[in-house]
């Protein structure tokens, strides 16, 4: 079904007075930035399908609304939004147990091991307890087919589920709101990707050794002072960064979407099926303050996300930035949450409990207006042939990467015919 969503500047939720009671626009009392949220479970119970779709459409519109190309909100959050989607971590063990994955180390961040997903899954389940597991993080898997040294596969069945979901369907890299609408997922350069994290934690070195060897804990005689062991801190954090896509030498800020799922043992799920753990602690900075944050934190936007900023922004640093007039929102995300990040919103993540994440970039149609191409391509607005020059620039840079340009059009995806 084709959507026609206009992106207005107003933050007022106006589609229906009945919807406003489900949607909340909050202001961080310390940071001053605004974010929007609602609980999908409550909406599913209270509204019919057409009303659910109308609410989602306007929610996304408000989340990505801009004034002078600057987002008004820092984040959109749909609690329990992923409840109807299969758990990707469990789905992989059923559908692709032999898939090769790359796994990091809890004690050495430079070390990476390759193993089958079934082996990784078994070790995670064996060591998973009270919100964390004693196994290294799994590096990102491409869900749209792997290239060169990437891990992953083309997960057609799961992509179909996401494409048909009320919340994620229009926001996929090839969805109705994307500039690459109806693009073949196999040529997507924007994801989705999937990875897992064990959660931030302290542990003793012998605990990791037992996790690897599958030995039972040892009973050690004597008091704690006599048998003090070395303790290690595993920092599970992604420093402050902004999301970018690249056409040749041109880098563009873009929006992002993420799905969070908790990793639990079957016993944990049975004992507390309705307990949604807090998985991520995030800080999102207002888009209007992007330049200030980049300058004050010395962020290198040309680096990958993990290395754009070398400093973790703690509460003390947040207070300092606030005194410089920077607005931010400090948010906790629970499992089964779907979140949306507008472009130019610098953000950092801290994983507080074991979880898996599906994430991708979304190049919204509203981001691709001629005025924005002028700035990015370095083409003077006084040039009489600027439109042709801009189009040629992006067609060329995109074709060099083997994917469509922003000026490419596609027919709608027919999943029944798609191989």
Mean pLDDT of 254-272: 93
Confidence at residue 8, expressed as pLDDT on a 0 to 100 scale: 37
89-98, 187-196, 269-278, 292-301, range with the lowest pLDDT: 269-278
Mean pLDDT of 34-62: 95
Cβ burial, residue 145 (10 Å; 0-12/13-18/19+): middle
Residue 351 main-chain phi, psi, to 5 deg: -85, 115
Confidence at residue 125, expressed as pLDDT on a 0 to 100 scale: 97
Mean pLDDT of 58-83: 96
Tell me the pLDDT of the chain averaged across its residues. 84
Confidence at residue 21, expressed as pLDDT on a 0 to 100 scale: 87
Question: In b/e form, how buried is each residue of 158-188, taking b as 16+ CB within 10 angstroms?
Answer: bbebbbebbbbbbbbbbbbbbbbbebbbebb
- Residue 45, C-beta contacts closer than 8 angstroms, at least 6 positions apart: none
Helix-helix angle 117-127:88-95, to 10 degrees: 130
Question: pLDDT grade, residue 328 (50/70/90)?
Answer: very high
Confidence at residue 6, expressed as pLDDT on a 0 to 100 scale: 34
Confidence at residue 399, expressed as pLDDT on a 0 to 100 scale: 42
Q: Is residue 148 predicted with pLDDT exceeding 90?
A: no
Residues 178/413, Cβ–Cβ less than 8 Å: no
Question: pLDDT grade, residue 45 (50/70/90)?
Answer: very high
Mean pLDDT of 387-394: 44
Confidence at residue 49, expressed as pLDDT on a 0 to 100 scale: 94
What is the Rg, in whole angstroms, of the alpha carbon atoms belonging to the chain? 22
Q: In this predicted model, which residue has the larger pLDDT, 149 or 115? A: 115
Question: In b/e form, how buried is each residue of 363-400, taking b as 16+ CB within 10 angstroms?
Answer: bbebbbeeeebbeebebeeeeeebeebbbebbbebbee
Give ∠ CA 21-24-30 in degrees, rounded to 5: 150
Question: pLDDT grade, residue 5 (50/70/90)?
Answer: very low
Q: Is residue 370 predicted with pLDDT exceeding 80?
A: no
Q: In this predicted model, which residue has the larger pLDDT, 249 or 179? A: 179
Q: In this predicted model, which residue has the larger pLDDT, 392 or 284? A: 284
The pTM of the full predicted model, rounded to 2 decimals, is: 0.83
Confidence at residue 405, expressed as pLDDT on a 0 to 100 scale: 43
- Residue 127, C-beta contacts closer than 8 angstroms, at least 6 positions apart: 133, 134, 135, 211
What whole-number distance in Å separates Cα of residue 46 and Cα of residue 21?
A: 11
Confidence at residue 390, expressed as pLDDT on a 0 to 100 scale: 37
What whole-number distance in Å separates Cα of residue 222 and Cα of residue 158?
A: 53
Q: Is residue 380 predicted with pLDDT exceeding 90?
A: no
47-61, 176-190, 207-221, range with the lowest pLDDT: 207-221
- Residue 388, C-beta contacts closer than 8 angstroms, at least 6 positions apart: none
Confidence at residue 269, expressed as pLDDT on a 0 to 100 scale: 86
Q: Is residue 357 predicted with pLDDT exceeding 90?
A: yes
What whole-number distance in Å separates Cα of residue 34 and Cα of residue 163?
A: 29
Confidence at residue 17, expressed as pLDDT on a 0 to 100 scale: 61
Confidence at residue 375, expressed as pLDDT on a 0 to 100 scale: 40
CA 393, distance to chain mean position in Å, is: 29
Closest CA to 258 of 196, 308, 192: 192
11-20, 78-87, 144-153, 334-343, range with the lowest pLDDT: 11-20
Confidence at residue 133, expressed as pLDDT on a 0 to 100 scale: 96
Confidence at residue 378, expressed as pLDDT on a 0 to 100 scale: 37
Write down all domains in the chain, each with its CATH number in brackets: 75-217+228-400 (2.60.120.650)
Residues 340/73, Cβ–Cβ less than 8 Å: no
What would the pLDDT profile of 71-114 be if each residue is shown by its tens digit? 999 999 999 999 999 999 999 999 999 999 999 999 888 899 99
């Amino acid at each position: 079904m084709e959507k026609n969503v206009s992106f207005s500047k107003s933050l007022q939720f106006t589609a229906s007075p009945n919807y406003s009671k489900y949607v909340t626009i909050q202001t961080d009392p310390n940071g001053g930035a605004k974010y929007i949220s609602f609980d999908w479970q409550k909406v599913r119970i209270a509204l019919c399908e057409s009303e659910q779709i109308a609410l989602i459409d306007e929610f996304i519109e408000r989340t990505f609304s801009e004034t002078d190309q600057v987002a008004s909100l820092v984040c959109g959050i749909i609690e329990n939004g992923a409840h109807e989607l299969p758990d990707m971590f469990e789905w992989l063990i059923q559908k692709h147990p032999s898939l090769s994955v790359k796994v990091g180390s809890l004690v050495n961040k430079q070390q990476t091991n390759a193993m089958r997903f079934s082996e990784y899954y078994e070790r995670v389940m064996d060591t998973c307890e009270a919100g964390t597991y004693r196994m290294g993080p799994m590096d990102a898997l491409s869900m749209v087919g792997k290239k060169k040294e990437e891990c992953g596969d083309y997960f057609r069945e799961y992509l179909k589920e996401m494409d048909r979901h009320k919340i994620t369907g229009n926001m996929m890299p090839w969805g109705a709101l994307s500039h690459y609408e109806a693009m073949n997922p196999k040529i997507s350069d924007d994801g989705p990707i999937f990875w897992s994290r064990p959660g931030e934690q302290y542990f003793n070195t012998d605990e990791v050794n037992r996790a690897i060897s599958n030995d039972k804990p040892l009973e050690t005689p004597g008091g704690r002072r006599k048998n003090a062991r070395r303790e290690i801190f595993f920092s599970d954090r992604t420093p402050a960064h902004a999301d970018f896509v690249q056409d040749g030498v041109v880098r563009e800020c873009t929006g992002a979407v993420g799905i969070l799922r908790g990793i639990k043992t079957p016993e944990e799920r049975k004992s507390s099926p309705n307990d949604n753990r807090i998985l991520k602690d995030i800080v999102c900075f207002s888009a209007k303050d992007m330049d200030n944050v980049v300058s004050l934190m010395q962020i290198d936007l040309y680096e990958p996300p993990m290395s754009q900023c070398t400093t973790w922004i703690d509460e003390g640093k947040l207070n300092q930035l606030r005194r410089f007039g920077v607005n931010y929102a400090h948010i906790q995300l629970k499992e089964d949450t779907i979140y949306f990040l507008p472009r130019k919103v610098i953000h950092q993540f801290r994983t507080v409990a074991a979880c898996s994440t599906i994430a991708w970039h979304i190049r919204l149609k509203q981001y691709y207006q001629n005025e924005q191409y002028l700035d990015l391509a370095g083409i003077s607005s006084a040039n009489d042939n600027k439109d042709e020059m801009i189009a040629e620039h992006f067609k060329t840079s995109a074709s060099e990467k083997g994917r469509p340009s922003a000026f490419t059009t596609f027919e709608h995806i027919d999943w029944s015919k798609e191989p």
